[in-house]
Structure 1
Amino acid sequence: MGAAASRFPPNSRYHGIATATLTLPDGRQVAYLRRRFVPQPETLALLYTVRVAEGDRLDNMAATHLGDPELFWRIGDANAAVRPDELTEEVGRELRITLPEGIPGIENG
């Protein structure tokens, strides 16, 4: 196995993802980041939903709702986005704002 992925800050989607090493046929070793598995949106605890307004950008929405513009990828994960930039193309679209993966929410009811 490779070294721990501590090179990535806590707000990175790659934080906690392990690295591995591949030995090439010529003997050189190449370090690489292991695959990140995107969580299923329904497994993420919902905080609330928001509607896209004219001119919204995902980084600004992340800053407003998650406190950090670099957490835009969490909005993408929460809404099953293959291309997160498409999430703000439709004014009025409802977006899920969720807790991070592995953090349970409070059950309603």
Structure 2
Amino acid sequence: MASTEPYESALDQIPGAHPYPRSSRYHDAEIGVHVRADGTEVRYAKRRLLPPIDRNTSAEDTTTHTVSSGERPDHLGQRYFGDPDQWWQIADANPVVDPRELTDEPGREIDVPVPGVFPGAGHAR
């Protein structure tokens, strides 16, 4: 069976084909429609719920990264996923409210998901 990947990538370039590109954390989020009193429709991404973090994951499921001074979440996305916009995968694998918490404390150890282990990790979403 032929891969649909080239066709799906092409759809990302067509305005309106997808509300969010496949690399976005919101690509699979359900889209809601709010209708204003004047009948105008406003589209929005519904809440994106994360699966609970399983603290019993094995060493093969994550890589531990020790934060260095001056690092940012986008630096980690580039380093581990080859795309600075993929920082959200690291944020999703750690118990943080604000992604800046990932790198605000040099010496902190954070989990970096191994592609294919966590939902969405290792493939565009």
C-alpha displacement of 1:33: 1.4
- Selected match of 1:77 from 70, 82, 92: 92
Per-residue deviation, 1:38: 2.3
Given that residues 66 and 108 in structure 2 are in contact (C-alpha distance below 8 angstroms), is that contact kept between their aligned partners in structure 1? yes
Q: How does 1:27-42 map to 2 (within 5 A)?
A: 27-42=39-54
Give the AA of the match of 1:56.
Answer: E
> Does the 8 A contact of 2:63 with 2:111 survive in 1?
yes
Q: Percent identity over the alignment? A: 36
Matches within 5 A, 1:3-82: 6-42=18-54, 46-82=61-97
Q: How far, CA to CA, are the matches of 1:73 and 1:46 in structure 2?
A: 17
Greater Cα shift, 68-77 or 42-51: 42-51
TM-score w.r.t. structure 2 length?
A: 0.67
Shift of 1:41: 2.3
RMSD: 2.5
Contact 2:66–2:107 (CA<8 Å) still a contact in 1? yes
Q: Which runs of 5+ in 1 are unaligned?
A: 104-109
Contact 1:40/1:80, CA 8 A, preserved across alignment: no
